[in-house]
């Protein structure tokens, strides 16, 4: 039932962008509106659109011109962001959960590392979650956990099917702030979320219904409430996250490298790439060194193939020296269609639906 009108257009209110679609965004109000209205479908104020200000999922915004009976309003301002994850574009992220399966598909340390590197590049805390733990013997699961601990992480092993590790994961996700869940498709992210939050489907349906789209038919990100103040962004899977563009920045995305530098002090050369240079504090005797080398090679190749673009293929553009995601599909649909199709092919990967 629709809430009663509150007597015409109300004063502005603050809310959080929980989903984006073309020129609309879904905004969860910080406090309930008349009749308990909590979610508004919003356009952008013209002057905001003209200023080029982007809107991302996770943004705190000010909405004005609220039409309570219709559940519509317009975003008038975007509050400053504490962080911005680039791909998927999510603002104000508190932590990133990287999910990889221990089996089906078999765990690949390089792919896992690439996800971890991408997550680390955001500067937010990273939690690896090893899913489908029911498919391996307990000793093999424990070996994987120890391995990731050696990388500098505190992983959780979980199984949506048996419930193993779900309480520990719930504790993590109930921390205040926005948690982004990422990982390749097919590793069980949706199964985990559904196991943790049986009401999720309802909420998904509510948001998606308004926006006229299904949950899994979209590459867009949506935020779901798990506990008061704790939101989870379920991101579309992608199989090959991008590496940073600067080879010198790669090392700092490996916790082992940071730990070695903290222990041993800086390397002799400030631009050391930790490949056996004289007086390198990091050295080469660490488990992921071959993976680090491989990433370094891949990154060099990427750079040779595609020198610094004016606009990042992930849907980012440079504004005032900063990268910002593009919002309105209206503006990018035609020019970016082929890029997006390419990304979708990448994201599906071989044999993925
Ligand atoms: P997503 O693409 O990461 O969201 O993965 P889904 O949640 O759609 O799961 C992919 C497949 O893995 C489905 O066939 C699930 O039934 C299966 N699956 C998910 N979680 C588990 C688990 O804990 N154990 C096992 N054995 N299979 C799982
Ligand atoms: Zn070094």
* Domains delineated in the chain: 6-80 (2.40.50.140), 86-234 (3.40.50.300), 250-331 (no CATH)
Q: What is the Cα–Cα distance from 349 to 271, expressed in whole angstroms?
A: 35
What would the pLDDT profile of 318-335 be if each residue is shown by its tens digit? 444 444 443 333 333 334
With a 6 Å cutoff on the Cβ, whether 185 touches ligand 1 is yes
What ligand is nearest to the CA atom of residue 347?
A: 1
Band the pLDDT of 31: cuts 50, 70, 90: confident
What is the separation of C-alpha 74 from the centre of its chain, rounded to a whole number of angstroms? Answer: 25
With a 6 Å cutoff on the Cβ, whether 191 touches ligand 1 is yes
With a 6 Å cutoff on the Cβ, whether 160 touches ligand 1 is yes
What ligand is nearest to the CA atom of residue 257?
A: 2
With a 6 Å cutoff on the Cβ, whether 159 touches ligand 1 is yes
Residue carrying structure tokens 């020198």:
307
Between the CA of 244 and the centroid of ligand 1 the distance, in Å, is 30
Between the CA of 277 and the centroid of ligand 2 the distance, in Å, is 6
What is the separation of C-alpha 265 from the centre of its chain, rounded to a whole number of angstroms? Answer: 32
Between the CA of 253 and the centroid of ligand 2 the distance, in Å, is 14
What residues have a C-beta under 5 A from ligand 2, the ion? 267, 272, 274, 280, 282
What ligand is nearest to the CA atom of residue 261?
A: 2
Between the CA of 288 and the centroid of ligand 1 the distance, in Å, is 27
Q: Which of 21-35, 121-135, 143-157, 286-300 has the lowest mean pLDDT?
A: 21-35
- Looking only at the bridges linking them, the beta strands covering 93-101 and 156-157 are unpaired
Instruction: Say how many CA atoms lie within 13 Å of 272 toward its Cβ.
Output: 20
- Atom of ligand 1 lying closest to residue 162 CA: 23
**The pLDDT of residue 76:** 93
What would the pLDDT profile of 171-219 be if each residue is shown by its tens digit? 999 999 999 998 888 898 888 988 887 766 534 333 344 443 334 434 5
**DSSP string for residues in 241-294:** PPPPS-HHHHGGGSHHHHHHHHHH---SSTT--SSS-TT-SS-S-STTHHHHHH
User: Does 274 have pLDDT greater than 70?
Assistant: yes
**The pLDDT of residue 353:** 34
- Atom of ligand 1 lying closest to residue 164 CA: 23
Q: Which residue minimizes the CA distance to atom 5 of ligand 1?
A: 188
Residue carrying structure tokens 């805390």:
125
Provide, rounded to the nearest whole percent, the portion of the chain with pLDDT above 90: 50
Q: Which of 133, 117, 124, 119 is nearest to 168 (CA)?
A: 133
């Amino acid at each position: 039932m629709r809430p009663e009108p509150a007597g015409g257009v109300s004063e502005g209110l603050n809310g959080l962008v929980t989903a984006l679609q073309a020129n609309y965004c879904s905004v969860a109000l910080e406090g309930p509106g008349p009749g308990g209205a909590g979610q508004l479908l919003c356009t952008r104020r013209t002057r905001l659109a003209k200023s080029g200000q982007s809107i991302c999922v996770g943004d705190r915004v000010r909405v004005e011109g609220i039409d309570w009976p219709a559940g519509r309003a317009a975003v008038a301002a975007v509050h400053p962001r504490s962080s911005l994850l680039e791909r998927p574009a999510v603002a104000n992220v508190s932590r990133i959960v990287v999910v990889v399966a221990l089996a089906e598909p078999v765990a690949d340390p390089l792919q896992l590392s690439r996800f971890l590197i991408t997550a680390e590049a955001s500067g937010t805390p990273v939690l690896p979650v090893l899913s489908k733990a029911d498919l391996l013997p307990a000793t093999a699961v424990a070996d994987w956990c120890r391995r990731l601990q050696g990388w500098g992480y505190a992983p959780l092993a979980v199984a949506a099917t048996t419930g193993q590790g779900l309480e520990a994961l719930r504790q993590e996700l109930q921390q205040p702030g926005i948690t982004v869940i990422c990982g390749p498709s097919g590793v069980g992210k949706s199964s985990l979320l559904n196991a943790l939050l049986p009401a999720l489907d309802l909420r998904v349906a509510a948001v998606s219904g308004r926006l006229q789209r299904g949950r899994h038919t979209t590459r867009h990100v949506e935020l779901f409430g798990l506990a008061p103040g704790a939101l989870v962004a379920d991101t579309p899977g992608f199989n090959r996250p991008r590496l940073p563009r600067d080879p010198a920045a790669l090392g700092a995305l490996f916790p082992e490298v940071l730990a070695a530098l903290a222990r041993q002090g800086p390397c002799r050369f400030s631009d050391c790439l930790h490949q056996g240079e004289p007086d390198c504090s990091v050295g080469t005797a660490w488990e992921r060194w071959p993976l680090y080398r491989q990433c370094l090679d891949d990154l060099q190749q990427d750079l040779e193939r595609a020198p610094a673009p004016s606009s990042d293929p992930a849907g980012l553009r440079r504004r005032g020296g900063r990268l910002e995601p593009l919002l309105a599909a209206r503006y990018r649909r035609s020019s970016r269609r082929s890029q997006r199709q390419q990304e979708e092919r990448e994201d599906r990967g071989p044999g993925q639906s």
